[in-house]
Amino acid sequence: MKNNSVKIVVATGIGAALFVIIGWLINIPTPIPNTSIQLQYAVLALFSALFGPLAGFLIGFIGHALKDSFLYGAPWWTWVLGSGLMGLFLAFGVKRETLTQGIFGNKEIIRFNLVQFLANVVVWGIIAPIGDVLVYSEPANKVFTQGIVAGLVNALTIAVAGTLLLKLYAATRTKSGSLDKE
């Protein structure tokens, strides 16, 4: 158990740092104000799949809080929570044992993308906008528009880059039974 908690702490630190760096360096604006294409969610998907829901939540939460602090001076807590929840939910899109055995085929890709799409809809289309209205008294039409656009671009980003990262990771693993005795 101790070894697993050390892995989670290390993965959280590295994952949160990558979340900040990628979010800082690669920030592609959309026509909707304060809404951009965020490639760090693909990395969040990989770390969540490999290290589980707790690490995924912490990476998303800490990474987003730090990124907002560095870029804007203060975190936007409803969206910070959203990133944490995305990391948590993304962990359930992939069976870790299967992935670490080098298996990430069509069935796994479909499962992963169904889970991540639903997570994006729930987190960015419902939870974050409602939080913005309740916590920050933001206009509903503004924050729901931002949330829907963010959810769609994040879903697309994760579907392409997240799937590719998971596929590449699986390709580096030795499939069980693939080595023969001579």
Contacts of 64 (CB under 8 A, 6+ apart): 19, 23, 75, 79, 80, 82, 83, 84
120-131 pLDDT per residue, tens: 999 999 999 999
Confirm whether 178 is domain-assigned.
no
Inside any domain, residue 66? yes
180 found inside a domain? no
Short-list 82, 146, 79, CA closest to 119: 82
Q: What is the pLDDT of residue 27?
A: 87
Residue 177 lies in a domain: no
Residue 176 confidence (pLDDT) = 61
Q: Which ranges of 26-162 does DSSP label H, i.e. alpha helix? A: 40-72, 77-90, 96-100, 106-122, 128-136, 140-157
Instruction: Determine, yes or no, domain membership for 80.
Output: yes
Is 156 a member of any domain?
yes
The token pair that represents 143 in the structure block: 């924050």
* The pLDDT value given to residue 98: 96
The radius of gyration of the chain's CA atoms, rounded to the nearest angstrom, is 17
Place of tokens 């989670």: 8
Does residue 26 fall inside a structural domain? yes
The CATH number of whichever domain residue 168 belongs to comes to 1.10.1760.20
Rounded to an integer, what distance in angstroms lies between the CA atom of residue 157 and that of residue 96?
21
* Coil vs helix vs strand at 37: strand
Count of structural domains within the chain: 1
Structure tokens at 96: 């870790």
- Residue 5 CB burial class (10 angstroms; 0-12, 13-18, ≥19): exposed
Determine the pLDDT at residue 34. Answer: 85
d(CA 115, CA 143): 23
* 3-class state of residue 28 by DSSP: strand
Q: Which residue carries 């630190």 as its tokens?
A: 13
> What CA–CA distance (Å, rounded) separates 121 from 115?
10
Q: Which residue range(s) make up the domain with 90?
A: 2-172
Residues with pLDDT less than 70, the chain: 1-2, 175-182
Q: pTM here?
A: 0.92
Considering the domain boundaries, does residue 15 fall inside one?
Answer: yes
